Structure 1
Amino acid sequence: MTTPQDAIAARRKLTNRLIAGKDARRLAPFFSPDIKVIAGDGSLILGARDVLAAFAGQFADPDFVAYVRTPQRIELDADGARAAEHGTWVGTARGAADQSGSYLATWRKVTGQWVIENELFVTLR
């Protein structure tokens, strides 16, 4: 049986692949409708529709390559319905230095599937 930590890590790996493939629509099932994201520049993005639009805008930039999130630790709550994913991220674009830092994602289990309800990205480099 797959552990919740393994399921979340697998979903993160898949989001990394979808971001590299530059297809924002395919990311939709990974986000809670009321997701809140604090981007690496400190801006706030509210709701799955706006998060997907932000990705689509970045994907339209021919220099955008990818964002890769690498989980370092995934912790579960006592009920096994929420999880905190801690890790590092790297953003790559052609002709520019990579940006990178730390992140925290909050996952919630909804109808048997893990979805992201919050993400905080801190740019450190």
Structure 2
Amino acid sequence: MTTPEDAIRARRRLTNKLIADHQALRLKPFFAPDIRLISGDGSLILGADAVVQAFAGQFADRDFVTYVRTPNAVEVDAQGHRAAEHGRWTAEWKGSEMAGSYLAVWRKSLGQWVLESELYVTIKHGPVV
């Protein structure tokens, strides 16, 4: 039997792959309809459609390469309905990169883990060294 932690880590790996493949529309099922995302620059994106549009905009940038989220920990509530994922993220464009910390909140909806909210904090921003 798959644990909630393993299921969430597997879903994160799949979102990383879809981002690397620049598949914005295929990301939508991973988001709760009312997702709230605070990006690394502090801007707020509300709703799954807006998050997918933001990804599509990034993917349209010819210099954009990928985002990768790497979980350090996944904590699940006692009822198994919500979870917190903590980790590091990186973003890469041709010649530059960004990185930082993130917190993602997952909730179980109709038997599947979806992202309820995400907070990204940019710690590093600059040319690839």
Query: What is the TM-score normalised by the length of structure 1?
Result: 0.98
Partner of 1:5: 5
Give the 3-state SS of the residue equivalent to 2:67 in structure 1. Answer: strand
> Could you report, residue by residue, the CA deviation over 1:76-107 in whole angstroms, capped at 9, with x for unpaired residues?
111100000000000000022x1000000000
Amino acid at match of 2:103: L
Partner of 2:68: 68
Q: Does 1:92 align with 2:96?
A: no
Map residues 1-125 of structure 1 onto 2, 5 A cutoff.
1-96=1-96, 98-125=97-124
Alpha-carbon distance in 1 for matches of 2:113, 2:95? 35
What is the total number of aligned residue pairs between the two structures? 124
Shift of 1:23: 1.0
CA RMSD of aligned residues (A): 0.4
- Consecutive aligned runs of 4 or more in structure 1 exceeding 4 Å deviation: none
Structure 2 gaps of 5+ residues are 125-129
Query: What is the TM-score normalised by the length of structure 2?
Result: 0.95
